[in-house]
Structure 1
Amino acid sequence: MANNNSLVVQQAQAAINQLKYEVAQELGIQLSPTGYNGNLATRDAGAIGGNITRRLVQIAEQNLSSFKR
């Protein structure tokens, strides 16, 4: 099965990674500097992902509101 998670803008990967580390730090969750986080609790991973999604929605809403007349 093909991976449908390919990025449209390749530079977005660095921004998403930066956001992941910022959110984890704010939540007090320690991420591995090697990039492997297989020992991360599901609850912590979900908290990080949920907060990233919340921020991305806020950013999109702000960008969309600037286009309104």
Structure 2
Amino acid sequence: MAQKLVPEAKQGLNRFKMEIANELNVPFTDYNGNLSSKQCGSVGGEMVKRMVEQYEKSL
């Protein structure tokens, strides 16, 4: 198994994911098997969108 470069980042990304899910009214829990691909994808897509925007601002 590959070593994680920044182990502390997992907690921050989890917190970020939950913030986005709450904003989009997607009921994320420890088990998300009952959610649609569209719901999960909307959270992941929004996370990537915001990370790219933040990166572009820092340039």
Please report the TM-score for the alignment, with normalisation by the length of structure 1.
0.73
Instruction: For residue 7 of structure 1, report the CA deviation from its aligned partner.
Output: 3.4
2:11 is aligned with 1:55 = no
Q: Structure 2 stretches of 5 or more lacking a match?
A: none
Q: Which residue of 2 aligns with 1:25?
A: 22
Task: From 9, 14, 23, give the equivalent of 1:12.
Answer: 9
- The question of whether the paired residues in 2 share the 8 Å contact of 1:24 and 1:31 is answered with yes
Once residues 4 and 49 of structure 2 are traced to their aligned partners in structure 1, the CA distance between those partners, rounded to angstroms, is 19
Measured in 2, the distance between the counterparts of 1:39 and 1:7 equals 29
Long gaps (5+) in structure 1: none
More helix by percentage: 2
Relative contact order, higher structure (CA 8 A, sep 6+): 2
Query: What's the offset of the Cα at 1:58?
Result: 1.6
4+ residue segments displaced more than 3 Å: none
Deviation readout 1:21-53 (Å, 9 max, x if unpaired): 000000011111xx1111111000010000000
Q: Percent identity?
A: 32
Number of aligned residues: 59
Whether the 8 Å contact between 1:7 and 1:13 is mirrored in structure 2 is no
